[in-house]
Amino acid sequence: MQEKTNPAPDPSDPGRPGEDVRAGESGPVRPVIPAAAAKRANASVIGMIVALVVSIAAFLPIVLMNPLPKSDGFRPNIDVSEVARNATDVAGFTPVAPETGGAFTSNYARWESGSGSGVPTWEVGFLTPKDSFIGLVQTRQPNPTWLVQQTKSAPVTGKRSAGGQEWELRDTGKGEKSMVLNYRGTTVVLTGSAQLDEFAVLAAAVVKSMDAAPAVTVSPSPGTAP
């Protein structure tokens, strides 16, 4: 009789069915955070949230007590009449100060000596009720080049009556237009993107202001016979 023994496993044997061979394999490594470090991290996050909530609660009453303005933006209102009075002596004529009953507001009023263009001018900027802009320029020394520059090379397209006077209308066809008036010794140019009805209101106020001021007279040059 021969005794049966189980043979030793052969190293070259690829394995038998049902045998799980995981030699050389390893699972994903999961970092282990110590409990104390995790507790400190959670405490830091909670502290940041609490600080943010406290900051919002502190500033919220201030914001609520100071509501945003309801207007579309800051609209300065210059006292054009006062600036015009101050410029009268240096201008040599009474600069126009149109009164529109508060419908138009001014964001600048100034006297320009004409050091660049050679034409001294009185300049006022007007913001219209429809949030457009019209710039006013007045001078007693106009010339064709200066007029072309002021009207942005716009061609003459017609006439407009305002304040009882006939204004020359110049239109670029791109939104910008100008109205020009030679009256009582000075030339006034209104230029902007406003509608013609707003131009007419301002132009009428300009004529009224010019009528209330002394007409500009040109003094004869020295040596001219009387």
Cα separation, 79 vs 174, in Å, equals 31
Q: What are the tens digits of pLDDT across the range 161-180?
A: 999 999 999 998 888 999 99
Residue-level pLDDT at 52: 84
Residue-level pLDDT at 46: 81
pLDDT (average), residues 75-92: 89
Least confident of 48-62, 73-87, 93-107, 183-197: 48-62
Cα separation, 91 vs 79, in Å, equals 18
Q: Which element (helix H / strand E) includes 167?
A: strand 165-171
Residue-level pLDDT at 54: 77
C-beta of residue 96 within 8 angstroms of C-beta of residue 165: no
Q: What are the tens digits of pLDDT across the range 186-199?
A: 999 999 999 999 99
Residue-level pLDDT at 11: 52
Q: Which element (helix H / strand E) includes 169?
A: strand 165-171
Amino acid at 102: G
Residue-level pLDDT at 222: 39
pLDDT (average), residues 85-106: 95
DSSP conformation class of 44: H
Q: What are the tens digits of pLDDT across the range 41-75?
A: 666 778 788 888 878 877 666 655 555 544 444 45
End-to-end CA distance of the chain: 165
- The beta strand positions in the chain, using DSSP E, are 105-112, 121-127, 133-139, 156-162, 165-171, 177-183, 186-192
Tell me what the pLDDT averaged over the chain comes to. Answer: 81
Q: Is 100 exposed, middle or buried (0-12, 13-18, 19+ CB in 10 A)?
A: middle
Q: Are strands 156-162 and 177-183 parallel, antiparallel or unpaired?
A: unpaired
Residue-level pLDDT at 116: 86
Cα separation, 82 vs 84, in Å, equals 5
